């Protein structure tokens, strides 16, 4: 990298802010769209939208073949032909989604009745079109991420959410209380933004001169690296879907809807996760390829420490104010407040897992992801089988929280075997235990004085223990504020 390129490259915090501001605006727009949906749709209709996302995801996983991970892995290789890399990664996925769509068409009636308790040509068509668009969106949005173009990434996410709200309102005026309202809005908004980034990609590539000497990755090598991620992604899908299917089998579609609404409230923390994953994957891989082991370890420790502190504060705050947040949903969804405390483990431990598990990707030991996922799925299935019949949606949330604690612990352990970094895991487990106790109280009791004091006390303990991070984050915020005042 030349000195000029080094100067042009944004610093880490500035890069993260470019990614985050878009997702922050999307979060605000989500607070507008979620109450619209929960007031448009009954709990059972909203439950069906959650099942739609589940079936689309499993088709997408088999179609993508882990080639998105191969694209990330080889993007920064020296003199890589990125045009060839994208073509080799996306072509098999498009062929597979076509054949899987044909298979789905044959079984559509039976699959639709099980998942949605309804069937129809429009439902089947939306599943197929949305899956096809998801594959295209994954690779072309991934290209923007790998360019580290956080501004464009954020702007396109904002546009997608605005279009979603517009199409949502339009579909509701035509269809009324039907879950296909959300399906149409999701598909049309995704189609518009995906079309734009594809046009942008080809327009930009036409202006780039092809270098004489470039490195071409053999398709066999890409497949060899990517294929193990199919099992990993499938296990992650099972991990995130077992709760819905358990509720579908052991409970009612209404409980699925209440659970899904609580999951939507998680966008407060999932927004941080989505932002961080988009920002972190290329940064981590670039550091590994270009920096020394000592520099990487120090960098990863610092990022983990700060992200952990902010994530835990967000989790405690969300549980503390859960009763205020669920007011957004409307009267029919008030029980979602008791589900939130254990669902917070999913986004915060997923964020931390993205940092601690990088060693598995660096050393290409993808089977370790599968080991961690398999153990988590067994735990989740057992937890749901025991807790859902008795506690319904709350039982599913508790099973999910326990599962993600195990998932984080096992994945971090295997990653340490591949690429040791001195993370402070004992401190992390203490924080998690504190959050578990608070989550248990908040799940079974209203937010009384004891609950409020517990939440404030937990945040105070974490703040004192992380006073170094508090100071550094405070200094940075003060520096930014001074810069804004000068302008």
Q: Is 120 helix (H, G, I), strand (E, B) or coil?
A: coil
Q: Which position has the higher pLDDT, 251 or 391?
A: 391
**Radius of gyration of the chain, Cα coordinates, nearest whole angstrom:** 22
Tell me: pLDDT of 427 over 60: yes
For range 452-471, the mean pLDDT: 90
Check whether 456 has a pLDDT greater than 90. yes
Residue 80: which region, alpha, beta or left (left: phi > 0; alpha: psi -120 to 50)? beta
Q: How much is the average pLDDT of 298-318?
A: 88
What pLDDT score does 8 carry? 41
Is pTM beyond 0.95? Reply is: no
DSSP characters over 242-258:
HHHHHHHHHS-HHHHHH
For the chain, helix (H) and strand (E) counts, in that order, are 22, 0
Picking from 333, 316, 337, the residue whose alpha carbon sits closest to that of residue 325 is: 337
Q: How much is the average pLDDT of 259-275?
A: 70
The pLDDT assigned to 432 comes to 94
The C-alpha atoms of residue 15 and residue 220 are separated, in whole angstroms, by 34
At residue 282, does pLDDT exceed 90?
Answer: no
pLDDT at residue number 7: 40
**What is the pLDDT at residue 435?**
94
**Residue 78 has which token pair?**
């020296």
pLDDT tens digits along 45-61: 877 887 887 778 777 77
Between 408 and 268, the more confident residue is 408
Whole-number average pLDDT of the chain: 81
Alpha-carbon distance 254 to 251, whole Å? 8
DSSP string, 349-387: HHHHHHHHTHHHHHTT-THHHHHHHHHHHHHHHHHHHHH
**Residue 150: is its pLDDT beyond 90?**
no
347 vs 311: CA distance, rounded Å: 9
Angle at 109 between CA 103 and CA 111, to 5 degrees: 70
Q: What is the chain's length?
A: 487
Residue 290 burial (C-beta neighbours within 10 Å; 0-12, 13-18, 19+)? exposed
Q: Express each pLDDT in 185-228 by its tens digit.
A: 999 999 999 999 999 888 887 766 666 556 677 778 888 787 77
DSSP bridge pairs for 80: 215
């Amino acid at each position: 990298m030349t000195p000029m390129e080094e100067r042009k490259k944004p610093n880490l915090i500035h890069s993260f802010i470019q990614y985050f501001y878009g997702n922050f605006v999307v979060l605000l727009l989500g607070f507008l769209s979620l109450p619209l949906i929960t007031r448009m749709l009954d709990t059972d209709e909203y439950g069906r939208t959650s099942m739609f996302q589940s079936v689309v995801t499993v088709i997408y996983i088999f179609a993508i073949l882990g080639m998105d991970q191969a694209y990330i892995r080889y993007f920064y290789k020296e003199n890589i032909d990125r045009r060839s890399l994208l073509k080799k990664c996306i072509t098999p996925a498009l062929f597979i989604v076509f054949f899987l769509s044909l298979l789905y068409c044959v079984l559509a009636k039976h699959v639709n009745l099980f998942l949605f308790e309804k069937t129809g040509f429009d439902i089947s068509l939306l599943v197929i079109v949305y899956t096809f668009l998801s594959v295209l969106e994954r690779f072309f949005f991934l290209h923007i991420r790998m360019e580290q173009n956080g501004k464009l990434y954020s702007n396109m996410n904002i546009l997608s959410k605005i279009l979603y709200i517009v199409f949502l309102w339009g579909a509701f005026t035509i269809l009324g209380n039907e879950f296909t309202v959300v399906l149409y809005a999701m598909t049309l908004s995704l189609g518009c933004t995906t079309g734009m980034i594809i046009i942008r990609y080809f327009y930009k590539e036409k202006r780039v001169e092809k270098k004489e000497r470039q490195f071409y990755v053999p398709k066999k090598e890409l497949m060899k690296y990517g294929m193990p991620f199919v099992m990993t992604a499938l296990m992650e899908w099972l991990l995130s879907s077992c709760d819905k299917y358990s509720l579908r089998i052991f409970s009612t579609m209404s409980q699925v809807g209440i659970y899904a609404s609580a999951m939507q409230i998680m966008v407060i923390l999932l927004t941080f996760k989505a932002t961080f994953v988009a920002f972190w994957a290329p940064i981590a891989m670039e550091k590994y390829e270009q920096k020394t082991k000592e520099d990487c370890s120090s960098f990863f420790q610092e990022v983990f420490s700060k992200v952990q502190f902010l994530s835990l504060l967000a989790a405690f705050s969300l549980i503390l104010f859960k009763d205020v947040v669920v007011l957004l949903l409307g009267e029919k969804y008030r029980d979602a407040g008791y589900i939130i405390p254990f669902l917070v483990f999913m986004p915060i431990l997923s964020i931390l897992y993205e940092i601690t598990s990088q060693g598995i990707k660096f050393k290409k030991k993808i089977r370790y992801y599968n080991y961690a996922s398999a153990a988590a799925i067994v735990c989740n299935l057992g937890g749901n089988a025991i807790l859902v019949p008795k506690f319904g949606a709350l039982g599913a949330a508790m099973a999910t929280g326990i599962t993600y604690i195990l998932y984080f612990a096992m994945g971090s352990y295997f990653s340490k075997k591949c690429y040791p970094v001195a993370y402070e895991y004992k401190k992390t487990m203490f924080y998690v235990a504190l959050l578990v106790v608070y989550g248990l109280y908040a799940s079974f009791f209203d937010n009384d004085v004891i609950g409020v004091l517990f939440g404030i006390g937990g945040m105070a303990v974490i703040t004192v223990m992380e006073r170094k991070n508090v100071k550094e984050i405070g200094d940075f915020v003060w520096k930014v504020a001074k810069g804004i005042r000068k302008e």
